[in-house]
Structure 1
Amino acid sequence: MTHSQSTRQRLIDAAIDLFGEQGFKGTTTRELAEAANANIGSIAYYFGNKHGLYLASTHYIADALRQRLGLPSDNTTSTEVPTDAHHARQILQKRLKQMVRIVTEDQECRRWMLLIVREQVQPSEAFDILYDRAFGYIQQGISALIARITGLPQKSHHVIVETHTLVGQVLFLLVGREVLLRRLGLTHFNDDALANIDAIITGHINQLGAANT
């Protein structure tokens, strides 16, 4: 990594932390520069202004999520959906298990949470980036699998809500992490806890399309 890349990345890392903790309006360029150990002028140099840095930080989160899930870097290519429901169910189980590992074990992912939650509560231009680059794309892929399993149209409200519910179960492991760990009497998600989570989510997946069989 070059010095230029290092400075740019430090600013993005600082932005994710400070914007998540304090919000866009509550964070100053001086605070961002100090947290990144960078010259205050580097924000204008790399991003134009504070708003540009804010958008770049959400771009980084979206692209990092795609990378962790093994998704293509753009929306023009998608994984082919299998023609049979059984294979689609297997792929869906694998995809959600992968997501569980990301939200429970990935330390960087935990750092993104506050900024993502802020954009959910008060969507801005940055939410469009998160949705178009990551969340919407990920959910469309899962909806395609659920549609194959249930035999329902991918754009039907039922499939969309099923998708949101399944993904929401996984994401709440991140949002509600400390509550669940305290109730389990754990300090981190161990192998037994992860096995239980996988089994429960698999059970929910196995219920998909049950009424149609």
Structure 2
Amino acid sequence: MSEATREKLIDAGIRLFGEQGYEATTTRRIAEAAGANIGSIAYHFGNKHGLYLAAARHIAGELRQRLGLADATDRGVPESREAAREALRGIARRMVRTFAEEDECRHWLLMVVREQVRPGEAFEILQAEAFGIVQARLAALIARLTGQAADDRRVILETHTLVGQIVFFLIAREPLLRRLGLRAFDAATLADIEAVVEAHLEGYTPRR
């Protein structure tokens, strides 16, 4: 029961912090949305700020899990270019499914966007425990395919562009659905999105 309450508070916090912003979101409103006693926030997180940071850690952990990068820092880079390309395809597919298909990601979006606009302590958690890990893994694989260093400026920009392409299916979900005449992404559309993204990966070739 205690763990279930904690999870409900985090879920309610993510939604309300995203919709209303940190300052406008009260602990009373979070407790009401979670169906919990207001004292449970102090019990589990200390205060509203503690809940906010816990919400950021929750998002970061869920992203790592969904993208299969929970232990990414312990992985080496495949020696062969084809193995590296296949590893990159696998991450790209998981990113497409995560950002285009999973409803929970839409609940995270507003809070994450707020932290992007005005980076604070929660952004540092997201960067260290999710964004940075994703960027590092993708950069290592792209570097293997292009024959450049993972910290090369071009590789960093290629990585950022790839992430942006896929995340845009979440950020601009509604305009795309309307353009396609859909109410939600169906299996065929998701497969087409994956194919489009994977076609872009073929452009990663050795550079001088």
TM over 0.5: yes
Q: How far off is 1:206 after superposition? A: 0.4
Residue 143 of structure 2 is aligned to residue 137 of structure 1: no
Corresponding residue for residue 9 of structure 1: 7
Structure 1 residue 91 displacement after superposition: 1.1
- The answer to whether the 8 Å contact 1:78/1:141 transfers is no
Are 2:19 and 2:110, in contact at CA under 8 Å, matched by a contact in 1?
A: yes
Match 1:110 to one of 91, 99, 106: 106
The alpha carbon displacement at 1:106 in A equals 1.0
Q: Secondary structure at the match of 1:207?
A: coil
What's the CA shift for 1:189? Answer: 1.1
> Any stretches of 5+ residues in structure 1 without a counterpart?
none
Q: Is the 8 A contact 2:147 2:206 kept in 1?
A: no
In 2, the alpha carbon distance for the partners of 1:181 and 1:210 equals 36
Runs of 4+ in 1 over 6 A off after TM superposition: none
Task: Provide the C-alpha distance between the structure 2 equivalents of 1:183 and 1:48, rounded to a whole number of angstroms.
Answer: 46
Alpha-carbon distance between aligned partners in 2 of 1:79 and 1:70, rounded to the nearest angstrom: 11
CA offset digits 1:60-81 (Å, max 9, x no partner)? 01001111122236x7x43221
Q: Identity rate of aligned residues, in percent?
A: 54
Aligned residues: 208
Match 1:205 to one of 198, 201, 204: 201
Which moves more between the two structures, 84-93 or 146-155? 84-93
**RMSD (Å) for aligned C-alpha atoms:** 1.3
For 1:94-109, what aligned pairs fall within 5 Å after superposition? 94-109=90-105
CA-to-aligned-CA distance 1:155-177 (integer Å, 9 cap, x gap) = 01100000000011110100000
Which stretches in structure 2 are left out of the alignment for 5+ residues?
A: none
Contact persistence 2:78–2:84 (CA under 8 A): yes
Corresponding residue to 1:81 among 70, 77, 83: 77
How far did 1:8 drift? Answer: 0.8
